[in-house]
Amino acid sequence: MFEATTILGYKGEFEGKKYAIIGGDGQVTFGNCVLKNNAVKIRKLYNNKILSGFAGSTADAFTLFDMFEKILENKKGDLVRGVLDFSKAWRQDKYLRKLEAMMIVLDKENIFILSGNGDVVEPEDGKIASIGSGGNYAISAARALDRFASIHPRDLVKNALNIAGEICIYTNTNIKILELE
């Protein structure tokens, strides 16, 4: 079984300023072996206005990122319309819909989890989403930090991913973070 990541997205306000931040660990494993510990699984899309992260194989990630970027171009960067069209296209493609893959996409206004089953999920709290092997650990830590600590959103994401890396054997603490400014 291919286990491959923890991605955490956060959208919110801090000291009167809106933030959109995504982070991911660097570990890729196959069974009980670490294949790589410094993989980058997050990127900026559509003229650096949208953040995205991927859980699944690297080749699939590039395919899906490219596909999503083209749809965003057609929708002039409208994330809501883009995710709906992308979800339909992903679900209808015979090859892609069989992928066991997920994505988080966000901007300063919206955050979504996407899957090949056609799922478009907006987190219940509207601001924190996670995917991957350590996703439940990361979201638990992020929710606690969001509720009970007054820290910068970038630090919230980094600390939550570090906590996940301390618990999940498929997640490490080689964290990469992207932010919309």
Residue labelled with tokens 């015979």: 94
Can you give the pLDDT at residue 28? 85
Can you give the pLDDT at residue 53? 96
Q: What percent of the chain has pLDDT over 70?
A: 98
Q: What percent of the chain has pLDDT over 90?
A: 73
Give me the mean pLDDT over the 100-129 stretch: 93
The gap between the terminal CA atoms of the chain, to the nearest Å, is: 37
Can you give the pLDDT at residue 1? 40
User: Where residue 3 falls among pLDDT bands split at 50, 70, 90?
Assistant: low
CA 70, CA 83: separation in Å to the nearest integer?
A: 12
Return the HEC string of the chain. CEECCEEEEEEEEECCEEEEEEEECCCEEECCEEEECCCCCEEEECCCCEEEEEECCHHHHHHHHHHHHHHHHHCCCCHHHHHHHHHHHHHHCCCHHHCCCEEEEECCCCEEEEECCCCEECCCCCCEEEEECCHHHHHHHHHHHHHHCCCCHHHHHHHHHHHHHHHCCCCCCCCEEEEEC
pLDDT digits (tens, 9 = 90+) for 13-54: 999 999 999 999 998 887 788 888 998 999 999 999 999 999
**Whether pLDDT at 140 is above 70:** yes
**Whether pLDDT at 131 is above 90:** yes
Residue labelled with tokens 């960067």: 77
pLDDT digits (tens, 9 = 90+) for 57-93: 777 888 889 999 999 999 999 999 999 999 999 888 8
Active site (annotated) includes residue 5? yes
Pair type for strands 128-132 and 17-24: unpaired
Residues 68/51, Cβ–Cβ less than 8 Å: no
**Whether pLDDT at 101 is above 60:** yes
CA 25, CA 158: separation in Å to the nearest integer?
A: 9
Structure tokens at 126: 């509207």
Can you give the pLDDT at residue 4? 65
Nearest to 179 by CA among 19, 41, 17, 12: 19
